[in-house]
Amino acid sequence: MKVLLTGGLGYIGSHTAVELTNNGYEVEILDNLYNSSRRTLGKLKKITGKAIKFYKIDLLNFKALDKLFLENKYDAVIHFAGLKAVGESVEKPLLYYENNITGTINLLKAMQKHRVNQLIFSSSACVYSNENVAPFKEDAKLSPINPYGRTKLFIEEIIKDYCKANKDFKSIILRYFNPIGAHDSALIGEDPNGIPNNLMPYISKVANGKLKILNIFGDDYDTPDGTCIRDYIHVVDLAIGHVKALDHINKITGYEIYNLGTGQGYSVLDVVNAFNNVCGNLVKYKIAPRREGDSACVYACPDKSKEELNFKTTKNLNDMCLSAYLFEKNNKKR
C-alpha cells in the first residue's frame, strides 16, 4: 500500500513515516520545508534502512500537486501539512485560514481528480469547547477559541461534507492531544525553526543551555497548581495510532473521528518537575502572564480509539521527558 504524507518531514509526520515503513507500507513525503528540514530524510533512512521519496511541494500550488498525483498512484493520504502555532494564529489569522484551509481544499481536489479515496487527517483537541469538562469524548461540544483550532474544525467539516458527496471516499479524523518526546534513536524529534511555541522543546532547550529560562504562561487557572493541564502523549505512540487508523480505514463507511491521547492530564508544572527529576534539575522557570487562546484543562477520553482501533499508549511522562532531552542534546542542527 502506497501512502503519501503531506508535511511528512515535520515532527509528527517523520515519526509516522518511520512506523509506517516499519509496518510494511510504502511511504512518500510531500513537504514545503516551512517548519522542517530536508536533513530529516537522511535520519529516516538511518532509522528504517530505506530511502523515502520526497517532493518539495506547497499545497497552495495546485499545479505541482496535480502533477504529483498524475505521476504517482497513491492508495491513501495522511494529511499533516499545516501551520500549527496557537499564538501565531491569533496574531496572523488570515495566514492560517489561507494556508490550512486552502491547502486542504487543493489536496482534496487533487485526490478527487485522481481517484484517491482514503484520507487520514491530522486534527487537534483544539476543536473542543472549553465549556466541556475533561475527559473529552469525540461527541463533546466543539467551539475552538483560537484561529488555529478553527482551521482544524472547518477542515473537519469540509471532509465530512466531501464524504457525504462522494460515497467512495473514506476518512479518519484523528484529534491529537499534546504530542511530546522523540524517537529512541534521538535522531528525530520536535525541532521547530526559531523560538519554540510548544512546551517540551522549550523545556529541553533550556535544559541544554540553548535558552535561558522557561516562561510558564499563567499560574492562576482553576487547576490544582494553577497551571494549564494537558494530555501529553509520546509522539511514537501517536505515530503508531496512524498505523492503526490506516489498518482500520477499509472497515468504515464515510468518516470516523478518534481521539489520540492517554486519558491522563498533567499540568505544566507536573511536566517541568518530571523533566527535572529524570534529567537533573536543569530547567529554570518563571511565571509569566496568561497567553491568549489557552484553555485551563484538556485531556482525552481515549475509549473509542482503544475499542475500535485497538490503540493503547505504552510510554509514560518520564519516557517523554527523557527522549526529548536526549534528542535535543544530540541534535546537531544549530
In-domain check, residue 307:
no
Q: From CA 231, how far away is CA 226, in angstroms rounded?
A: 16
Give the rounded distance of the alpha carbon of 334 from its chain centre.
Answer: 23
Query: Are the CB atoms for 116 and 150 separated by under 8 Å?
Result: no
- The answer to whether residue 285 is domain-embedded is no
Instruction: Please report, for the domain that includes residue 109, its CATH number.
Output: 3.40.50.720
**Worst-scoring range by mean pLDDT, 209-213, 233-237, 268-272?**
209-213
CB 258 within 8 Å of CB 173 = yes
193, pLDDT greater than 90: no
pLDDT value of position 260: 98
What average pLDDT score do residues 161-172 get? 97
Query: Quick one: average pLDDT of 53-68?
Result: 98
d(CA 89, CA 242): 26
Query: The domain containing residue 153 runs over which residues?
Result: 2-180+232-261
Based on the structure, what is the number of domains in the chain?
Answer: 1
* Residue 283, domain member (yes or no): no
> Given pLDDT bands bounded at 50, 70 and 90, which one contains residue 191?
confident
Residue 256 pLDDT greater than 90, yes or no: yes
Residue 191 lies in a domain: no
**Cα separations in angstroms, 234 against 14, 184, 256, 275, 309:** 14, 11, 23, 14, 17
The answer to whether residue 330 scores a pLDDT higher than 60 is yes
Please give the pLDDT value at position 315: 97
Residue 295 in contact with residue 230, Cβ under 8 Å?
Answer: no
Beta strands 118-124 and 170-176: pairing type?
parallel
Percent of the chain with pLDDT over 70: 99
The torsion angles phi and psi of 267, rounded to 5 degrees, stand at: -80, 165
Residue 298 lies in a domain: no
Distance CA(155)–CA(6), nearest Å, equals 15
**275 belongs to a structural domain:** no
pLDDT in tens, 110-164: 999 999 999 999 999 999 998 899 999 999 999 998 899 999 999 999 999 999 9
Domain assignment of residue 157, yes or no? yes
C-alpha cell at position 105? 481544499
Mean pLDDT for the chain overall: 95
Distance CA 182, CA 199 (A): 14
Q: Residue 324's pLDDT is what?
A: 93
Residue 332: the pLDDT is 58
| Residues assigned a catalytic role | 148
Task: Please state, in angstroms and rounded to a whole number, the distance separating the CA atoms of residues 298 and 302.
Answer: 13
Where does residue 157 rank: exposed (0-12), middle (13-18), buried (19+ CB within 10 A)? Answer: exposed
* pLDDT tier for residue 334 given thresholds of 50, 70 and 90: very low
Output the pLDDT for position 293: 65
Residue 78 dihedral angles phi and psi, to the nearest 5°: -110, 120
Higher pLDDT, 15 or 194: 15
In this structure, is residue 244 part of a structural domain?
A: yes
